[in-house]
């Protein structure tokens, strides 16, 4: 066992987090397991780096404050002592927060069965949400510009009645998210198909809202406007 694996095992035992999530209600043969895309860790590291850069900038500004000429010597000494402690904590936290980012990426699970779905994320603060197909009212795919460049997207599943929660976590406004996946359309299509089968079996409300990615929707609108403009030009040329 490597040091990283040993630390991972120790953290999971300390946080009392099971290495594998429990499969939600549904037929065993219908279970599909998804994970965040490879570039999701890159995206998380970008956010982690920006956060650390902001903290370093704040510490630098605080250090510069100690050189104000009017600052009394005693106050300067106390300030420098506090600053040294803050810098020490910041430096020591870098490998810890990096490892937690890595662990959060590896321990992120998205599970879909023929009757429900379950999303688990977090290690220190575990969030596990289960939602049945009977409650799903909408499915939406979206991505911010950076996620789009990284080939990532998010599949948001909205529930009118809310999903079940575990480990004391709330359902976050009746919405759960397959965050940072690189196969968003595959997941959306799977959910739509299983919703159709579920509703065709006579269970649940058949009114389900699905939305396509913004880029695809915009492309369709541009195409429709282009066709309308071409038709108008043809009519104008024909009348002359």
What's the pLDDT at 98?
92
Q: Is residue 227 part of a domain?
A: no
The conformation of residue 22, written as its DSSP 8-state character, comes to: P
Phi, psi of 136 (to 5 degrees): -70, 130
What's the pLDDT at 113?
94
What's the pLDDT at 161?
54
Average pLDDT over every residue of 4-18? 65
Q: Do 116 and 78 sit in the same domain of this protein?
A: no
Q: Is residue 16 part of a domain?
A: no
Interval 94-152: pLDDT, tens: 998 998 898 889 889 999 999 999 998 887 777 888 999 988 989 999 999 999 999 99
Q: Do 73 and 145 sit in the same domain of this protein?
A: no
Domain span at residue 78 reads 46-103
Q: Do 142 and 166 sit in the same domain of this protein?
A: yes
What's the pLDDT at 236?
55
167 touches 198 (CB < 8 A): no
Range of lowest pLDDT (13-27, 52-66, 67-81, 121-135): 13-27
The C-alpha atoms of residue 122 and residue 134 are separated, in whole angstroms, by 26
What's the pLDDT at 19?
64
| Total domain count, the chain | 2
Q: Is residue 30 part of a domain?
A: yes
Q: Do 144 and 187 sit in the same domain of this protein?
A: yes
Q: Is residue 136 part of a domain?
A: yes
CA pseudo-torsion sign 178, 180, 181, 187: positive
Average pLDDT over every residue of 39-58? 95
The side-by-side arrangement of strands in the sheet containing 109-112 is: 32-34, 109-112, 116-121, 127-132, 164-166
Note the pTM of the prediction, 2 decimals.
0.69
**Winning range, highest mean pLDDT, from 9-23, 40-54, 60-74:** 40-54
């Amino acid at each position: 066992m490597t040091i990283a694996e040993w630390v991972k095992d120790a953290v999971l035992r300390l946080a009392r987090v099971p290495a594998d999530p429990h499969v939600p209600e549904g037929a065993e043969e219908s279970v599909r397991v998804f994970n965040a895309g490879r570039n999701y860790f890159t995206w998380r590291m970008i956010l982690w780096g920006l956060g650390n850069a902001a903290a370093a900038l704040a510490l630098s500004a605080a250090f510069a404050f100690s050189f104000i000429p009017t600052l009394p010597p005693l106050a300067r000494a106390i300030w420098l002592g506090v600053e040294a402690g803050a810098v020490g904590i910041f430096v020591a936290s870098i490998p810890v927060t990096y490892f937690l980012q890595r662990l959060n990426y590896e321990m992120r699970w998205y599970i879909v069965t023929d009757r429900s779905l379950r999303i688990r994320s977090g290690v220190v603060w575990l969030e596990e949400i289960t939602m049945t197909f009977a409650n799903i009212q909408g499915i939406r795919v979206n991505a911010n510009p950076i996620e789009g460049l990284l080939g990532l997207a998010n599949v948001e599943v909205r529930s009118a009645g809310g999903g079940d929660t575990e480990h004391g976590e709330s359902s976050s406004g009746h919405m759960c998210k397959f965050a940072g996946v690189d196969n968003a359309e595959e997941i959306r299509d799977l959910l739509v198909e299983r919703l159709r089968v579920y509703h065709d079996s006579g269970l649940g409300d058949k009114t389900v809202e699905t939305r396509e990615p913004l880029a695809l929707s915009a492309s369709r609108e541009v195409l429709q406007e282009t066709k309308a403009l071409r038709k108008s030009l043809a009519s104008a040329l024909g009348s002359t």
